[in-house]
Structure 1
Amino acid sequence: MTTALRLVRSAAEGLAYEYDLFTAKGPQVGIWTATDNALVCPRAYRRRDGFDRACEASAARGWPVFQRPTGGGVVPQGPMVSNLALAFDAPKTFKIEDGYRLLVGVIKAGLGGHGVALETGETPRSFCNGTWNLSVGSQKIVGTAQRWRPVPGGLTRVLAHALILVHDTHDVGADAVSAFHNDLGLAPVDANAHTSLEAAFGLPALPDTIIRNAATSALRSLGTITTTKGTITGRKPCPTKQSTSI
């Protein structure tokens, strides 16, 4: 069985891959993991005092910092994380909450029996905390975000993204976020506010092919999206309207 997971070296490559999905035509599904550790923060962080020095210190610790166009907070990337990206055209009646319901529904369906244990809501003291986190036992496993922009035909192009903590080394990522926060004068996060698919459910890897199939089915179920010309793919291949935390 071929894998749906795409390995990239750096988070920058992963962000570029998601941009390709966002700017492509038709519904798209991408799943990726970076082999190198990194932190990703909103571009707005550049305005914070000491940002350049904090980036240099983080890179010296083995966690170079990359920037993304959406809001939220700092997140880790690396072998402990997998990312799910869905890109599609949505009608005027489609609301941001619909995008999050679609995204978390795909993840829950892809995790099968484990998915029912996931709870939606904020996870106090987690990195980039948001109201559409997925947690188990008050520990965050999944963070979510969206990026929107208008496209011709009265539709909106949506990029719905989920960061999934897969391996039980997620604590080093949380510690890297805390160190970066400290250099910027921000509050630390709590490594114990997070868990992973491996720690919580004993899953050794993300069931990427099953999640891709669930995503493909979910996108095809949106009656306003035409799939005859667009492609739903896990292969290689602007202004933000709304976004939230991952």
Structure 2
Amino acid sequence: MSTRAPASADEFLTGLKGQRVLVTAGAGGIGFAIADTLSRLGARIVVCDVSDEALAAAPGKIGLVAAVKADVSRDEDVDRLFETVEKKLGGLDALINNAGIAGPTGGVDEIDPADWRRCIDICLTGQFLCARRAVPLIKAAGGGSIVSMSSAAGRHGYAFRTPYSAAKFGVIGFTQSLAKELGPHAIRVNAILPGIIEGPRIEGVISARAKQVGISHEEMTGRYLQNISLRRMTSPYDVAAMVAFLLSDAGINISGQSLGVDGNVETL
């Protein structure tokens, strides 16, 4: 039985100041919101991204220790990224496995195998490559946290988005396995399942899906919202708030979980 005193209101979101955090794909979208939120709460942040433009702009918008160009699906890029993490942060307390792509839209008989592999490589294998380098550093720190981005598509099958859905289902299995493996080392591992996130990526997905089934962009947007109980899209900062909670002292006993931040997506 725990002897820990009940949490008081002022304990929530404590423990973030000074945390050394790597956010992959952290120069835009959800990753930027996470890096911004954690930085405001006192964490020291390194981000990576593949966009030169986003990487150049990010340090001027939020406080970062370093911004590195890296493709998480490439071993050599990940090795170089972690050289920067060790040099600039001197260790690591938390990894936010955020990098991902939308992948191809189409029937299974229409998808190019190269597009399948690219989606799996970035959305799933990239998380493995980053975790294998992060874990020794987090162990050396005495424990910490890994938060990996899955998706509502990792809970529901997603017609015409099979590569993406398969990768995001894989993230949940990866998370649950790591939670068991790393729990004895005081490392908490959780997945977040964002729903339909406001921004250009989902607009592109909706357009492609609308074209696939022969309806307008507006009608397809309405169909997406009808599948969300709250009838609204999710903000990147909604996801960032959950990450902050999980990394804080308030999340000290949460591990192995797949947490939806999606307005309750009922189906896809």
- Whether these two folds match at TM > 0.5 is no
| Structure showing greater relative contact order (alpha-carbon pairs closer than 8 Å, 6 or more residues apart) | 1
TMscore range, shorter length: 0.3 to 0.5
TM-score (norm 1): 0.32
Greater helix proportion? 2
**If you compute each CA radius of gyration, which structure gives the higher value, 1 or 2?**
2
TM-score (norm 2): 0.30
Greater strand proportion? 1
